[in-house]
Amino acid sequence: MDMSIAAMSVSMHQNQAMQDMGVAILKQAMDTTEVAAEEMLAELAVDPNLGNIVDIQA
């Protein structure tokens, strides 16, 4: 299969564009997941003093 330099260049640029788009989508998904995790942790935050004093008398 003989491919001209111009055709190879176009093909390489198309592949790079698709890869760049995939990376951008993955970054957006990671950012969304990070925000969701931060929100979930904020909702789960408890009183930091809770459990510091434990009455162990029997």
The pair of three-digit structure tokens given for residue 21, joined into one six-digit string? 């788009």
Q: Report pLDDT for 57.
A: 80
Q: Which residue has the tokens 């029997």?
A: 58
Distance CA 53, CA 57 (A): 12
Q: Report pLDDT for 35.
A: 95
What's the pLDDT tens digit per position in 32-46? Answer: 999 999 999 888 877
Chain CA centroid to CA 3, Å: 38
What's the pLDDT tens digit per position in 1-58? Answer: 567 999 999 999 999 999 999 999 999 999 999 999 999 988 887 777 777 787 788 6
